[in-house]
Amino acid sequence: MNATPAADDEALRVAVRAKIAEAFDGRFPDGVMLEVADRRVTVRGCVEDIGTAQRVEKAAAVSPGVLGVHNALSTRQPPPPEPQAQPPASGMHADPAEKPAGQVNHKV
């Protein structure tokens, strides 16, 4: 007798929950909820920081039988600021149309 898809998803949810707990020293993170549909996992809730969210997602993804993971976690701490890009006048990605008119000297 074959299990129903809903029973398969529930068994997978239990397995994924155990895999995530294993990644956190045997303790499932507070505030995290799992949903499984058609062997695809969605993790929801609020965790401390982006590193925790990534660890939860990775643990869910490596669980046997999972086809995909959607990380819908939010974090209590904002992500670190993006590194500053090059200043506009640095020459990186310069637009020749923005150069002032005048003599241009090229070495030949």
pLDDT of res. 77: 81
Within a domain: residue 66?
A: yes
52-66 per-position pLDDT tens digit:
999 999 999 998 899
Residue 9, domain extent? 5-75
Sheet holding 68-75, edge to edge: 32-37, 40-47, 68-75
pLDDT of res. 4: 82
Mean pLDDT of 37-42: 94
17-31 per-position pLDDT tens digit:
999 999 999 999 999
Within a domain: residue 93?
A: no
CA nearest to 50, candidates 29, 25, 77:
77
pLDDT of res. 87: 61
Supply the CATH number for residue 22's domain.
Answer: 3.30.1340.30
- DSSP letter at 95 equals -
Give the least confident one: 6-10, 71-75, 90-94. Answer: 90-94
d(CA 17, CA 29): 10
Within a domain: residue 90?
A: no
Number of domains in the chain: 1
Within a domain: residue 106?
A: no
Within a domain: residue 105?
A: no
Within a domain: residue 83?
A: no
Within a domain: residue 95?
A: no
Within a domain: residue 86?
A: no
